[in-house]
Amino acid sequence: MKPSIVSLLSVIISLLSISRATSAHIHENFLQCFYHQFPNSNSLSNVIYTPRNASYASVLQSSIRNQRFAKPTTPKPLVIVTPLQEAHIQVAIYCARENGMNFRVRSGGHDFEGLSYVSHAVPFVIIDLINFQSITIDVENSTAWVQSGATIGQLYYRIAEKSKTLGFSAGVCPTVGVGGHFSGGGFGMISRKYGIAADNVIDARLIDVNGRILDRKSMGEDLFWAIRGGGGASFGVILTWHIKLVPVPQIVTVFTVNKTLEQNATKLVHQWQYVADKVDNNLLIRIFIRRVNSSSQDGRRTIQASFVSLFLGGLDTLLPLMQESFPELGLAREDCIEMSWIESILYFADLSGEPLEVLLNRTSSIDQYFFKGKSDYAVEPISEDGLEQIWKEFIAAPVETFEFLFNPYGGRMSEISKIEIPFPHRYGTLYNIHYGLYWVEKGTSSYNKHMTWIRRFYNFMAPFVSKSPRSAYLNYRDLDLGENNKGNTSYAQASIWGLKYFGINFKRLAHVKTMVDPGNFFKNEQSIPIL
């Protein structure tokens, strides 16, 4: 897989020999620059798309996972490149630099703010890694190479194809791309046992701003540190990850237990906060909080807490463990299902009963919604009174499809030091909160209504969550936290959001950025600033 030094040098030398483009038409210049490198342009059919190509719109649309960024008024790229070879990416970087174009990389397209394919700094080019999906599993060594355009569903599928006792620690939604997900963290159902995806990356290959292909050894430990949780987009184009697979038992146990307010949900959620981060690492219990119509109270609105859990082990071990650690939930044998780890992936993705091949499908029904997400961290339990205030606010919400999710940390998550990788939410963090608002009604007034409400709810939550900074999870990207403004890309400006995502690691990220991309070519609304 490694390029020879000779071919690397020849690319760099030929890049340098291209003359500076002069035409007024940037996109013509970009194309000329690109084609100049690949004189046999037949090999480029299905690589370059401009708005003049009939398939431009469908290629752009193919990985838009949020209708908020699929509007006619959403800024569109001048060029989309779907590279077939690494050299296509090297040349795209060079030609974008030559022409002063902003540059975006897209893997799965799940960025909450669409930063992988929307730029307000026009003109811009998108590198879409749709053709970089290969996955090689090494069972003997419990490792894998995963190209960054693959999805986590594909990865899980390929692991299970080779082994019933290996897995990987990453997210729940199978269509998420590994390019963004691993570089931004990657939390899932076995993270209390094994940490996040970025904790399990052992090598990576990337292309830097000068078109060089680097691996862990040649990029050095600072850059390798930065791309495991600091976001890939500030540092280069990640081509492939080398990851450590983790052991999973042949049989795991899952359960979902729903409780409404009438069924003591408040007490149970309150109690959960004292248990969920401390319980056995093999057990992860997350809670979805939803508003539902009560069946016992004449259809009046109530809150439902849905306790959704994975245990790395069998039912006969789980039941006594729950009896000892969280008896209040009253978990019964009938609530539990034993299955293989890969079947549990389907279960948590609401795909139970589907063939495993559904994990290879890159699209999902939620792509059709407008979506706005935000996040918080709880560092101390919320009191019962506090929970009741939150339920009241939620019940009165003038929006339909809102839910929030408590993801417990602790276990391996808090054993790893805060500075091991840029992801800082370790010891002292009880749980992460994800707020998700979905809607289908088009139009500005609907947009404003939904955006205003979720921002208000977020403000309302302030007293209950972490403070100074009010922390946030990079993979739940939120531009409300602050942007690198056109006129102000200063470290001070970026610190407003940078400290929330990265805590004490923000400064080191800026040092690495300054070292590897001093001209700030890889920039977006929330890219790491130059010092």
Ligand X SMILES: Cc1cc2nc3c(=O)[nH]c(=O)nc-3n(C[C@H](O)[C@H](O)[C@H](O)COP(=O)(O)OP(=O)(O)OC[C@H]3O[C@@H](n4cnc5c(N)ncnc54)[C@H](O)[C@@H]3O)c2cc1C
Interacting residues with ligand X (CB under 6 A): 65, 104-112, 115-116, 129, 148, 171-173, 176-177, 179-181, 183-188, 231-233, 237-238, 366, 475
CA atoms within 13 A on the CB side of 295: 5
Residue with tokens 């989309």: 80
Please give the Cα distance from 275 to 446 (Å, whole number).
39
State the minimum distance, in angstroms, from the CB of residue 178 to ligand X: 7
Residue 361 binds to ligand NAG (criterion: CB under 6 A): yes
Using CB under 6 A, which of the segments 96-104, 137-145, 235-243, 467-475 binds ligand NAG? 137-145
Q: Is the Cα torsion angle 146, 147, 152, 158 positive or negative in sign? A: negative
Pair of tokens at residue 270: 């309150």
Kindly give the residue spans of alpha helices, DSSP state H, lying in 209-295: 216-226, 265-275
Please give the Cα distance from 91 to 103 (Å, whole number).
12
CA 338 to chain centre: 28
Please give the Cα distance from 211 to 9 (Å, whole number).
10
> Site for ligand NAG (CB under 6 A): which residue of 11, 48, 80, 481?
48
243 in helix, strand or coil? strand
Report which DSSP code applies to 336.
E
Q: Which of 194, 431, 476, 501 is catalytic?
A: 476
Among residue numbers 388 through 447, which ones bind ligand NAG (CB under 6 A)?
none
Q: Taking CB within 5 to 8 Å according to partner kind, which of ligand X, ligand NAG, none is near residue 46? A: ligand NAG
| CB closer to ligand X out of 188 and 411 | 188
Q: What is the CA radius of gyration of the chain?
A: 23
Residue 324 binds to ligand NAG (criterion: CB under 6 A): no
| CB closer to ligand X out of 391 and 402 | 402
> Exposed (0-12), middle (13-18) or buried (19+): which is 510, by Cβ within 10 Å?
buried
Residue with tokens 């245990």: 311
Q: Taking CB within 5 to 8 Å according to partner kind, which of ligand NAG, ligand X, none is near residue 104? A: ligand X
> Site for ligand NAG (CB under 6 A): which residue of 323, 363, 448, 452?
363
Using CB under 6 A, which of the segments 52-60, 116-124, 212-220, 510-518 binds ligand NAG? 52-60
Please give the Cα distance from 135 to 147 (Å, whole number).
6
Residue 14 binds to ligand NAG (criterion: CB under 6 A): no
| CB closer to ligand X out of 115 and 209 | 115
Residue 492 binds to ligand NAG (criterion: CB under 6 A): yes
Residue 43 binds to ligand NAG (criterion: CB under 6 A): no
CA 307 to chain centre: 23
| CB closer to ligand X out of 348 and 391 | 348
Element (H or E) spanning 338, and its range? strand 336-339
| CB closer to ligand X out of 210 and 325 | 210
Provide the β-strand partners of residue 241. Answer: 146, 204
Residue 290 binds to ligand NAG (criterion: CB under 6 A): yes
Q: Taking CB within 5 to 8 Å according to partner kind, which of ligand X, ligand NAG, none is near residue 65? A: ligand X
Residue 49 binds to ligand NAG (criterion: CB under 6 A): yes
Among residue numbers 214 through 253, which ones bind ligand NAG (CB under 6 A)?
none
| CB closer to ligand X out of 109 and 195 | 109
Asked if residue 401 lies in contact with residue 437, where contact means CB atoms within 8 angstroms, the answer is yes
> Site for ligand NAG (CB under 6 A): which residue of 147, 148, 183, 304?
304
State the minimum distance, in angstroms, from the CB of residue 309 to ligand NAG: 11
Please name which of 75, 388, 76, 105 lies closest in space to residue 232, comparing C-alpha atoms. Answer: 105
Using CB under 6 A, which of the segments 48-56, 117-125, 220-228, 507-515 binds ligand NAG? 48-56
Please name which of 95, 80, 78, 76 lies closest in space to residue 38, comparing C-alpha atoms. Answer: 95
State the minimum distance, in angstroms, from the CB of residue 332 to ligand NAG: 11
Our answer to whether residue 476 is catalytic in this structure is yes
Q: How many residues bind ligand NAG (CB under 6 A)?
A: 27
Helices (H) and strands (E) in the chain, counts: 16, 18
Residue 61 binds to ligand NAG (criterion: CB under 6 A): no
Please give the Cα distance from 326 to 275 (Å, whole number).
7
Asked if residue 375 lies in contact with residue 400, where contact means CB atoms within 8 angstroms, the answer is no
Please name which of 502, 511, 526 lies closest in space to residue 426, comparing C-alpha atoms. Answer: 502
State the minimum distance, in angstroms, from the CB of residue 243 to ligand X: 14
What is the phi/psi pair of residue 440, to 5°?
-120, -20
State the minimum distance, in angstroms, from the CB of residue 9 to ligand NAG: 27
Q: Taking CB within 5 to 8 Å according to partner kind, which of ligand NAG, ligand X, none is near residue 389? A: none
Give the binding site for ligand NAG (CB under 6 A). Answer: 45-46, 48-49, 52-53, 55, 138, 140-141, 256, 258, 263-264, 290, 293, 299, 304, 306, 361, 363-365, 488, 490, 492-493
Would you name the residues annotated as active-site residues? Answer: 476
